[in-house]
Structure 1
Amino acid sequence: MARAFLVPASLRYLDQVARSGSIQKAAKELNVAASAIDRQILLLEQELEVELFERVPRGMRLTAAGDALVTLARRWRADERRVAADIKQLQGLDQGHVRLVAMDSHANGLLPRFIERLAVEQPRISLEVEIASPDDALSALLAGGADIAAIFNLTPRRDVHVHWSSELPFGCVVSPAHPLAKGETVSLQEVVAYPIALQSKALMIRRYLDARYGWLFADPQKALVTNSLQLVKQLARGGRYVAFTSELDAAPELAAGTLRFLPVRDKGAEPQTVSVAIDARKPLSRLGRIVADLLTDEIRASLRDARAAGVAAMPANEEIRQGSEEAT
C-alpha cells in the first residue's frame, strides 16, 4: 500500500532541498522531477511573498524565512510519523519509526546492545540514531528532528520532559597501573601532578572544569586536548594520563577492568547527570515509550556493570527520578 502523506508536498520538497543543498539533488533523493520541486517552491515564495532560498552558484541556501518554514515542516513531518504509528497501534501493530539522538560515548558503549535488544524484542520498530553533542541533541529534539534524546547534563527547561535521569559522580578515570589507582577517591590537587587528557569545549564536562577549576590547566604542557572521547580513554588506558569523564562514558572499560573510576572528593564537586528526554510539547507515543524504557534499562545496566566491577562505589544518596506520561 502506498504511503499517504499528510504534510503538503511543497513542504516536503522544501525540507529535502534544504537537506540536499540543490533542487537537482533533492529530485534524485525524492525520485521527483526537478521542475515539479522548483514549481512548488516558487509557489510557496509567491504565497508568502518572501524568498525562501538564496540561489547561489553551488546550489540553494536557506534564508531566515526559509529556515523558519523548514523548522515547521520538520515538526509537521515528525507529527505525521507519530500519527501513522498511532494508527498502526490502533490496528494492533507495534510498528513504526522512532528517531533517537545520543552522545558519542553511547555509540561505543550501550547503544549496540540497546539496538540489538530492540531488534529482537520489537522487530517492527525501526530506529534512526543520530550522534550529536549535548547542545545539538537538544536542538534536534526541540526542532522535531528526534523523538527521544539521551543527553548529558541537561539543564531544566519547560519545553523538555525528563523521562528518566540519574546522577553520575564527578570524577576521573585512570589505568589500574596508575599511581592514583591505589586510592578509592582522588583530589584535584593529586590529579594535577600528572598529565591530563581533556575533552574539547564542545562537551559540558569540559565547560564545567574550565568554569570551576581553570587552575587545573595552568601548565599547558601537562594537558592534551582532543574532541575524541575514544582517544581520551586510550590515553588513560596507556597509564600516563588522567582523564576527566563519567562512569557511563567509560562503562565498557570499567566493566572490563581496563580503567578505574575515581570520584573527586573535593568539596563542591558537583555530580554530572544523564537523562532520557522528550519534547514536553508533544505526547510520547506508545512506540516512543517502548524505546525510551528499553534505553533507560540499558543505561542502568551499563552503570550497574561498571560499578559491579569494583571501580566505583555507588553513592548512597544517589537520586534517580523516573518521569511518567500518559500513554497515547
Structure 2
Amino acid sequence: MDVGRLQALRELARCGTIAAAADALFLTPSAVSQQIAQLQDEAGVKLTERVGRGVRLTPAGQALVAHAERIMVVLDEARSEMAQLRQEIAGELRVAAFPSVASAVLPETVKALQQAFPRLEVVLEEMEPVDGLAALRSWRTDIALIDDLSIVLGENNESVGLVPLAEDVLHVVLAAGHALSRKASLSVADLKHETWAIDSTSSVFGDFIASLCRRAGYEPRTNAKCRGFEMVGAMVASGCSVSIVPGLRQTRPLAGIAWVKLRPEVRRKIYVAFRRGERKHPAVNAFVEEVVRTASRLLG
C-alpha cells in the first residue's frame, strides 16, 4: 500500500471531511478523493461511505487508519536512525510556534543552535497551537509548540510525543493610568463595564476569553478584534480597551500598559510536540534540549 494514500486516509479520519484533509495535505479535494479510491482498490475492501454530502470511514477504514498510525511512527523511527548513522546535525528543521512563546524563547534558541550546529537550518513558522499540531501530524513541520488551552492533550494524538516547556499565567492589561491599574489583582467580573480588545488570531483563545466573561455573567463588549498583540497593546495603552493576555508577553513589554494579576489565577501549560518516532532524531533532539534549556533560563 502506498504511504501517501495511507496518509490521505489518516488525515480524512482526523479532519472529518475531504476538503479539510486536502487543506492539511496541501492537495486538492479531488486528489485526496483519488488517493483514497486507489487505496480502497489496493485494500480490496470499502474504506469510506457516503453520509449525506460527506463521507465517513467504515470499520475497515478505521482499522486501516490504526495500522497507518503505527506505520508512520516506524517510518519516522527509520528516518531518525538514518540521521543518527550520518553522525551529523544538519539540514532543515521546521518549527511551528504561536506568537507569545515564539517571541519569548525562539530567538535565543535558534541563535544557540546556529552557533553549535552551523549546518542545521531552523525555519520558523508562526502558527496557533491547533494549526501547529495539524501541521506536525501531516509532516508540514517537524516541531510544534502547543498549549493545553487550545488542545485536548491525549485525544487522537497517539503518534505525538510531548515534552513540558513552561507554564504561563494569564494577566489583565489596562492603560497605565486606568482607575483599576493599581489593584493587586482583578477578577473578570471587575471588568464587566469595560470595552475589550481581543487578539482574534486564534479563535480558540478569543473564545476562551469570551467564555471567562460569560461565566462571570456578561458578554464582553469588544471594540477591537486584532490580528496580533501589537494592536491589542496599542488599544490598551491608549485607554480605549482592556484585555486578558498571556504573561509571556511581558518578556517584551510595551510602554503605557499596566499588568495586573487575574483572580482566580488561570494557567496554561506549554509543550514541545514532535512525532513520537522522531524523538531520537539528532536535530529534533538538539532542538528540544536547547528550547527547554532556554525556556528554563528566560522564563524559570
TMscore range, shorter length = 0.5 to 0.7
- Residue 26 of structure 2 is matched in structure 1 by 19
Alpha-carbon distance change, 135 to 44 in structure 1, aligned in 2, over 3 angstroms: closer
- Residue 247 of structure 2 is matched in structure 1 by 247
Matched letter for residue 86 of structure 1: E
- Residue 187 of structure 1 is matched in structure 2 by 187
Q: Is the 8 A contact 1:167 1:273 kept in 2?
A: yes
- Residue 213 of structure 1 is matched in structure 2 by 213
> Once structures 1 and 2 are overlaid, which stretch shifts more, 236-245 or 106-115?
106-115
Q: Is the 8 A contact 1:98 1:288 kept in 2?
A: yes
- Residue 85 of structure 2 is matched in structure 1 by 90
Question: Which 5+ residue runs of structure 2 have no aligned equivalent?
Answer: 9-21, 48-54
Alpha-carbon distance change, 11 to 111 in structure 1, aligned in 2, over 3 angstroms: same
Instruction: Give the Å deviation of 1:235.
Output: 1.7
Instruction: Give the Å deviation of 1:150.
Output: 0.9
Instruction: Give the Å deviation of 1:205.
Output: 3.8
Deviations 1:280-313 (A, max 9, x none): 4664423212101222234344536xxxxxxxxx
Question: Which of 95, 100, 103 is residue 100 of structure 1 equivalent to?
Answer: 95
Instruction: Give the Å deviation of 1:93.
Output: 1.4
Alpha-carbon distance change, 115 to 75 in structure 1, aligned in 2, over 3 angstroms: farther
Question: Which 5+ residue runs of structure 1 have no aligned equivalent?
Answer: 1-7, 25-37, 53-62, 305-328
Given the alignment of the two structures, is residue 131 of structure 1 paired with residue 130 of structure 2, yes or no? no
Question: Which of 285, 291, 295 is residue 289 of structure 1 equivalent to?
Answer: 285
Question: Which structure has the bigger radius of gyration?
Answer: 1
- Residue 315 of structure 1 is matched in structure 2 by none
Instruction: Give the Å deviation of 1:179.
Output: 3.3
Q: Percent identity?
A: 18
Greater relative CO, 1 or 2 (CA 8 Å, sep 6+): 2
Q: Is the 8 A contact 1:78 1:145 kept in 2?
A: no
Q: Is the 8 A contact 1:85 1:95 kept in 2?
A: no
- Residue 52 of structure 2 is matched in structure 1 by none
Question: How does 1:120-199 map onto structure 2 within 5 Å?
Answer: 120-153=115-148, 154-157=151-154, 159=158, 160-199=160-199
Structure with greater proportional strand content: 2
Q: Is the 8 A contact 1:174 1:243 kept in 2?
A: yes
- Residue 223 of structure 1 is matched in structure 2 by 222
**Take 2:83 and 2:135, find their aligned partners in 1: how far apart are those partners?**
25
Alpha-carbon distance change, 281 to 83 in structure 1, aligned in 2, over 3 angstroms: closer
- Residue 275 of structure 1 is matched in structure 2 by 271
Matched letter for residue 238 of structure 2: G
TM-score by length of 1: 0.62
- Residue 233 of structure 2 is matched in structure 1 by 233
**Take 1:41 and 1:185, find their aligned partners in 2: how far apart are those partners?**
55
Q: Secondary structure at the match of 1:182?
A: coil
**Take 2:239 and 2:188, find their aligned partners in 1: how far apart are those partners?**
18
Deviations 1:97-129 (A, max 9, x none): 433221133455443443333222222223343
Matched letter for residue 124 of structure 1: R
